[in-house]
Amino acid sequence: MPTADELKQMAALAALEKIEGGMKLGLGSGSTANHFVKSLGARVRDGLDIIGVPTSERTAQLAKAEGIRLTTLDEVPALDLTVDGADELDEKLRLIKGGGGALLREKIVAAASRRMIVIADDSKLVPHLGAFPLPIEVNLFGLGATRAAIEAAAYRFGQPATLTRRLAADGSPFVTDGGHAIIDASFGLIRDPEGLSLALSAIPGVVEHGLFIGLATSAAIATPDGVRWLH
């Protein structure tokens, strides 16, 4: 039986098969995306010519160490493909992301890409989103008011949420690459992801949230029996 980490690597390798020379790539964040970046680095050292936009400082460091040429969306505003992990996805390719705290850059990069492949082990594929608390990136200014507005939006949806400010490993408040806080919102199963996404986006202090809807174009889901593709 493959371990969860071996499944993540299988998904990453399946996505790697879709990479062609000359591509402009979005490079995701997290342990599954790390497998992809490392395998991509090996192909680059064998002569594959691609350029990447990293979705976090951590991915940028890893990609550089792997010898992958990096650029920014200022220099290359449109990408061919982003490959990234997810905390949850459903059969409609709706995602919850941001468990690693990189959701803002991940969403900006995915939205700038013609295609997005999600790579995941099969534990991430769920019938309904929401068992994983939804990460919401919020501006530090007015945090209390933003929290209250998120609670009110959740209440309107008939899905009262428990909100927890994310902490770093050392117990201090977690700060994203963009200098914001993360609130993890436990809604229970999310009955209307599209509606909730719009309601959260309408709150001024919400910088971005981890519901990715209409962005992923396919997913490589690694199971003990092999990789299953969703389109």
The type of residue at 59 is T
From 17, 75, 91, 106, active-site residue:
106
Chosen residue from 66, 80, 87, 137 binding ligand 5RP by CB under 6 A: 87
Active site residue 106: yes
Give the CB-side neighbour count of residue 158, counting CA atoms within 13 A: 4
Distance CA 79, CA 139 (A): 28
52 binds ligand 5RP (CB under 6 A): no
Chosen residue from 31, 139, 218, 223 binding ligand 5RP by CB under 6 A: 31
Chosen residue from 52, 54, 85, 130 binding ligand 5RP by CB under 6 A: 85
54 binds ligand 5RP (CB under 6 A): no
Phi then psi for residue 141, to 5 deg, are -70, 130
Min dist CB 185 to ligand 5RP, Å, is: 15
133 binds ligand 5RP (CB under 6 A): no
Count of residues that bind ligand 5RP according to CB under 6 A:
18
**Bridge partners, residue 228, by sequence:** 221
86 binds ligand 5RP (CB under 6 A): yes
By C-alpha distance, which of 211, 52, 201 is closest to 134?
A: 211
Q: Which is nearer to ligand 5RP, 151 or 186 (CB)?
A: 186
* Helix spans in 46-157 (H): 57-65, 103-111, 143-156
Chosen residue from 32, 159, 176, 197 binding ligand 5RP by CB under 6 A: 32
The type of residue at 89 is L
Instruction: Report the catalytic residues.
Output: 106
